[in-house]
Amino acid sequence: MPSREDSTSTQADHVHEPVPRPEQTPDALRAALAVVDPKRLPEMQRTEDEAFARAVRWQSLSPVRSRVLTWARGVGIARRPDLAARHARAKSNLEHEDAATAREAPRELSAVLDEAVKAVKAVRG
């Protein structure tokens, strides 16, 4: 079933997406990450292990929910080449030799993350 965002987007918006927007479950996110950024799979597993350990210690599911949202945002960035390029450029400019470029980098990085979070929240309803 297409997400609400997918149904309101134009077909052209999705031509360059390597995978459809995954469900916000660990398995779906892992499968999508395996396609769009497989080198990050060990990091994903490590954060999953840490989140489950915290959930047990805290007797709360909030660490698991937080981890799923973080990876949904990350996969959302990685599956969109335009957003992934902006993200990479902003990260690389954080320590740019040009002061103006370095000052703008955190704003751009924040804008990219905000855009990805909005997409995640739009799917969640």
pLDDT in tens, 54-100: 999 999 999 999 999 999 999 999 999 999 999 999 999 999 999 99
Rg of the chain taking only CA atoms, in angstroms: 16
Local confidence band at 18 (pLDDT 50, 70, 90 cut-offs): low
Separation of alpha carbons 39 and 28, rounded Å: 17
Q: In the predicted model, what is the mean pLDDT of the chain?
A: 86
Locate 64 and state its tokens. Answer: 């698991």
Which pLDDT does position 123 carry in this prediction? 73
* Total-model pTM: 0.77
pLDDT in tens, 97-108: 999 999 999 999
Q: Is the pLDDT of residue 12 over 80?
A: no
